[in-house]
Amino acid sequence: MPTSFIMNICCIGAGYVGGPTMAMIALKCADITVTVVDMNAARIAAWNSGQLPIFEPGLDDVVNQARGKNLFFSTDVAGQIKKADIIFVAVNTPTKTYGVGAGRAADLRFIESVARTIAEHAESGKIIVEKSTIPVKTADAIKTILASNTKGLKFAVLSNPEFLAEGTAVKDLLNPDRVLIGGERTPDGEKAMETLVSVYARWIPRDRIITTNLWSSELSKLVANAFLAQRISSINSISALCEATGADVDEVANAIGKDSRIGSKFLKSSVGFGGSCFQKDILNLTYLCESFGLPEVAKYWESVVGINDWQKSRFSARIVKELFNTVADKKIAILGFAFKKDTNDTRESAAINVVRHLLTEHAKVSVYDPKVPADEIKTDTLGKGVDNPRLTIAKDAYEACAGAHAIAIVTEWDEFKTLDYAKIYAAMPQPAFLFDGRNIVDLDALRKIGFKASGIGKPAEGR
């Protein structure tokens, strides 16, 4: 490696966050060597191949420009820890499934094990940057582990939460609304923050880089996701009232969103939010509130997740109800399985609940998603290695819909807006139903073809 590089950055965790974020830093900072390490060798091999492990529009281009120059992917965790001046920690922090806080608290064992690995291999002081979303005060635990295991080396721990959204990660990284950096308000802490600020300042205006104390930064990530999810649950709760009254939820969202105090974003009613963050972070927030003796606050935020669960089950229950209260042995086409368009990520996708519900009702379910592999769909729905002949994966939307009694649009992929619905209708038994869980198709046009079509929070036919 050329010796002229002034700074070495290492990122532990080559996932949806670590991979794209480091690729952008490498692209924008030609004088910094960035190495992403992961204990998963297959994932690292994929990052080094022509087929990246995650689908993200524009990412191939960014990786191709920097990889091999100043962007590297490696399994040599210990070696890269030694070399690094700054270490980003971007490992996953799933919801705990056991013991105290099961189902709500964050499982921090990967964070702890990474802190111990850093302590074991570091030979000089470093800046450690938390990228993973974690409960408030986790930086303290990391500092304690580092302090008690290293031979007097000095570490600064910063919090630098990621706000990118999947599907638009490259755009979000290029032009973020803000970058948040939290650190200790001590001379060493301020110096470390300034070093990290100088990295981002190469392409992001200084006034969009905010520095705060550690706890504000850690908490802000949870709160940002809780507020975003809260808007979706709010509009989804109103979607049910729209269906009952004949109002149109998109018209309501448009009308209220024009109020600049409310704003128009994140008001799209849907079958329910998914993704790796919203539910996990809210549950985490509620657990924190309870731990700090604030059960009322916990209950308030918990209801955001409650409405989301209800919205998901309301959608599948409606399919069963409208198909004359039975879907047994009827084919149902599910269009889309990812938690949103333009990603192959299925974590917490509403599709998982919908498909499971329909299988429980003995429907024959045929799923099509443009980016999610068949194995992933089966594993998410049934469990690893489990098969169910009632669940099939189609190669395109037309195959999924052929012979189906109903179609359910679960992910808002653009290609579902322009399908030849007249052709699809002709290949379905009558009456043919369509349930648009994303409000992306023209219900009136479908009704003209003959579909019994319904959306989320949309007036029923003829209303």
Q: Which residues bind ligand UDX (CB under 6 A)?
A: 12-18, 38-40, 43, 90-93, 110, 113-114, 131-133, 162-166, 225, 228, 232, 266-268, 270, 273-278, 339-340
Is 342 or 361 the residue whose CB approaches ligand UDX more closely?
A: 342
| Of 29, 242, 277, 289, catalytic | 277
What minimum distance in Å lies between the beta carbon of 458 and ligand UDX?
Answer: 15
Q: Which two tokens stand for residue 433?
A: 């139903």
Helix 214-245 vs helix 295-322: angle between axes, to the nearest 10 degrees? 40
**Nearest approach, Cβ of 359 to ligand UDX (angstroms)?**
21
* Orientation of helix 109-121 relative to helix 138-149, angle to 10°: 30
Distance CA(288)–CA(108), nearest Å, equals 14
Between 10 and 327, name the residue whose CB sits nearer to ligand UDX.
10
Question: What minimum distance in Å lies between the beta carbon of 205 and ligand UDX?
Answer: 19
251 in helix, strand or coil? helix
**Which residues lie across from 34 on neighbouring strands?**
9, 71
Distance CA 23, CA 67 (A): 8
Q: What letter would DSSP give residue 67?
A: B
- Shortest reach from residue 68's CB to ligand UDX, in Å: 21
CB 72 to ligand UDX: min, Å: 15
Q: What span, in angstroms and rounded, lies between the C-alpha atoms of 397 and 394?
A: 7
Q: Closest distance between ligand UDX and the C-beta of residue 329, in Å?
A: 30
Decide: 367 and 400 in contact? Cβ < 8 Å. yes
Instruction: Return the number of the residue (33 or 276) whose C-beta is nearest ligand UDX.
Output: 276
- Residue 13: closest CA among 112, 117, 132, 113: 132
**Shortest spacing between CB 103 and ligand UDX, in angstroms:** 16
- Tell whether the torsion through CA atoms of 112, 114, 117 and 121 is positive or negative: negative
Where does residue 385 fall: left (phi above 0), alpha (psi -120 to 50 degrees), or beta otherwise? left
- Which lies closer to ligand UDX via its Cβ, residue 226 or residue 432? 226
Contact 320/326 with Cβ under 8 angstroms?
Answer: yes
The answer to whether 289 is a known catalytic residue is no
Assess contact for 88 and 98: CB atoms under 8 A.
no
Q: Which is nearer to ligand UDX, 183 or 275 (CB)?
A: 275
Q: Which is nearer to ligand UDX, 33 or 439 (CB)?
A: 439
What the block records as the tokens of 150 is: 């290293």
Looking at beta carbons only, is 160 or 270 nearer to ligand UDX? 270
* Angle at the Cα of 88 from the Cα atoms of 84 and 91, rounded to 5 degrees: 130
Q: Helix, strand, or coil here: 51? A: coil
Q: How far is the CB of 313 from ligand UDX (least distance, A)?
A: 16
By beta carbon distance, the residue nearest ligand UDX is: 15
User: Looking at beta carbons only, is 63 or 232 nearer to ligand UDX?
Assistant: 232
DSSP E strands in 75-200: the ranges are: 86-89, 126-130, 155-159, 179-183
Our CA angle for 50, 384, 49, nearest 5°, is 10
Alpha-carbon distances of 80 from 8, 87, 145, 159, 190, rounded to whole Å: 9, 9, 19, 21, 25
Active site residue ranges: 277
